[in-house]
Every structure is written in C-alpha cells, then in structure tokens.
Amino acid sequence: MFDNGLLQCIKPTSESAALALLWPVEGFGRILLPTTCLPERERAYCLNVEVARARLMQIINRREEWSIFDSSQELEELSHQAQELFVKAIQRIRDPAVASQLADKSLRRAMVLSERLTLAHAETLLKARRKAKAFGRGCLGCRVDLDLVDRPGYLERLVQIAGYAVVPTSWARLEPSGGEYDFSVLDRVINRLSGQRLILGAGPLLSFSRSELPTWLAQGQMSFEQIREAAYRYVAAVVSRYSRRIHRWFLVSGLNATNDLAFTVEQVREIINAAALAVKAVNSRAFRIIEVTSPWGEYYATMPNTISPIGFMDMLVQSGIGFEAFAVQLRFGKDQPGLHVRDLMQVASLLDLYSLLGKPIFVTGIEAPSMQGQGPFDVEVAGFWHKPWDQVRQAVWLEDLCIVALGRPWVEAVAFEHLADTADSLIHHSGLLTDRLEPKDSFHTICRFREGLG
C-alpha cells in the first residue's frame, strides 16, 4: 500500500522479508531489484538505501564466492566510490531526501561494478570450457514453432543457430479424447527435423495449467489416482512412438508455480515420479529433464498450492525420483511476476545457487524483446537494460546471457524460446528472426557466438 511517499508492506507471516521493485537506475536501465531481508519495525526504512545496501552485499558475497580479489584499478575505484557514497547515505539517514540521493549515486556505481565483475568472471570460466573442448553440438538450442516448420527458410535458419531443437508436446493436442491420440502434426515435424543433424528434445510432456490439459481431464470429476494413471499412459504412448528419435525428454514444466488441479506436495512428487517411470519403462537410456518456471519465486508468497523453486528442486532430489537434469526458464520483458528485467549478476547468482543441487542445468525459454512495446510490454512497467529495447540491445543481452550461463560447468545447454517472432509468444518480438523470417542482429550475434564455442 503506497500513500504520501510511504510504502507499507503487509506480510502473510511474521518472518523477515525482502521487497523487490522495478527500480530506475540512471544510465543502467529499469531493473527489478530487491532489498535485503528486513524485520518489521515502526519506523520506516529508507527504500533507496536498502536497495543500494542489498546490491553492495551481493557484490561482496559474489567476489568472495568467485575469488575475485584482484580486479582492475578502474573496478576497484568504482567499488571504493560505491561504498563511500553508501557510508555517507547511512550517516545522513535521518534526512531521507539526502540519504536517498547518496544511495542512488552509490547504486549507479554498484550496478556497473556488478555487471563488469559478472562478465569478467563468466568470460574466464567460458575460456576454460572452450580450452577443454567441453561444448558439444547440443549446447545451443531452440524450441521449434510447429506452425513455422514448413515455411521456406525456417529449418535452414534453425540449423544455423542451434545444435539441438525442442519439439513442443501438448497433452491437450496429442490426446484430445481419453485414450485416443493424434500424432499427425508431431509425426510431420519430427520427420522434417530428423534429417537436419539436430539433437532432438521434446516436451514438456506434462504441464498442469488448464490451458495445457485435455478438456476431458480438466473438466472431468477424476480422482488423483485416475489422473496419475492417465498421465502415465499418455507419457508412455508418446515416448514409445518417438524413443528412437528423441534424445532429451522434458517430463514436467512449471509444477512448482502452476498447479491448477491443486495437487498436494505428496501428489506433486507422485505425478512426477509416474512420468519419470513411464519414460524409463519405454527407454532405459532416455535423458529426463524437469523444468522450473518463474525461478525467482515471486509467485510463492501469494499463490496457493505452489512450492518455492529451490524447495521444489531440492524436494525432487531428496525424493530419489529418477531424472537426469533440471531446466530453468529465463524470460525477460513483460509486466508480469517473474518476467521483469533483471541484471546479469542476479542471473549468475541464481545459476550458482542451483549448482548446489548436484544436477546439470539446462537454461530454457530464453526471451528478451527486440523493440519497445505497449501495455504490459512497455519498458516503464516491464523494465529495460541500459537502453530501451531494440535489435542491438536484444543481441548484446542474449550474448551476455549465454556467456554467463555457459561459462558455468554445470550448465549443459541454453535454448531460445522462439526462433522467429510469433503473435502468441509470451514476450512480444523476442525471436531471433522477424515474423518474415528475416535475421535480426541477435541472429547474427548468436551465430558468431556459436562459432566461437568451437
């Protein structure tokens, strides 16, 4: 609740909490930035100071974790300035207007410093992986748009940009009636892709948002046991049909955040285990991946029947469910929880956290816009990075994101959500090609990046 310059937050529990806001940083963009975890108190916090404090603490933690103790003189000067300005802001905390101005100056320097440290660290890691020839053909990928596969030039562009392709599988489309399957579209697409020297993945096999569930299941009065058995049969049918062609199976997507059938935690484990067993029963060598959406977990505080991302992933590891990797979606550029623009240090910190789970990570669903939009895509409410979005900004952002992700040894591959712009994409104008299949700057940039991986 915001009134007369005071932002009042009402939490569902008495625990300390952080506040994340789309924050304007002069010369850097409009970025979703958090405070540190703050305990309740009667006296108001100075929000500008707390946002700057959180970033400076993150820089200190990452420098220690990444063992960056000897950086360039320019970066050390930036660090000194940011800390000095923050100390001055604390000294003037009784004068919120002055403290806020000083904190904003500190934050501007801290954001530049954090980005340069993140990229320097990632480039060092990436160079080591290149030297070790750690990148296989499938380290860069893209999801296939089923409606575009037959358009002239689409597959040629896909092969230029990607070594692996993910074929969407929608339960609603593939099993329109209980026990009756329609594989006609999938057969045609996979036949087209099979001759393209691509590593093929498919999925998600299961997604429990109502738009992805068959009508006969979503609107029926089925018990959990019946739903689980139906899911097992469906997964087994799809995998049986394509097991010789598909190498990577995305079992489930988004069950941490989207649980429209209101499964309990135990039922979530059971349904995922059923999918994993169904794939293994058909193909003992299948590579099984579980995909996490909204990886920063904004949904968790307000949405019932959900699990925090790291809690969800740890639960699956501890449960002993058979699968080989996690996938994490990274999408930016829309005024919707989980989709606001963040900076590279936040991305790096997220991937570092997930390394503790001991499973390979696939970065999927990568999207960022190539032009300014309206409504929820307006940069004032969705965010932007350095400058409002255009083709050049999209290209630089996507390349830097790939550097940060693929520099980490536990990241197996990255994949873009759309090769070309489509009307139904979650982030408008996020393709590497226009809707006419004309290459954007980002397409050429990623092609060069792929060549550089060797």
pLDDT 10s digits, 330-349: 999 999 999 999 999 999 99
pLDDT of 252 > 90? The answer is: yes
pLDDT of 154 > 90? The answer is: yes
Confidence class for position 370, pLDDT limits 50, 70, 90? very high
* pLDDT greater at residue 121 or residue 219: 121
Of 170-174, 195-199, 253-257, 355-359, which range is least confident?
Answer: 195-199
Q: Which domains, ranges and CATH numbers included, belong to the chain?
A: 2-128 (no CATH), 134-452 (3.20.20.80)
Q: How do residues 433-445 score in pLDDT, each as one tens digit?
A: 999 999 999 999 9
pLDDT of 363 > 80? The answer is: yes
pLDDT of 274 > 90? The answer is: yes
Confidence class for position 195, pLDDT limits 50, 70, 90? confident
pLDDT of residue 15: 67
Calpha distance 43→41 (Å, rounded): 6
* pLDDT greater at residue 10 or residue 334: 334
pLDDT of residue 168: 97
* pLDDT greater at residue 299 or residue 404: 404
Strand partners for 328 = 292, 363
pLDDT of 44 > 90? The answer is: no
pLDDT of 43 > 90? The answer is: no
Q: Is 375 left (phi over 0), alpha (psi -120 to 50) or beta?
A: left
pLDDT of residue 1: 67
pTM for the predicted model, two decimal places: 0.94
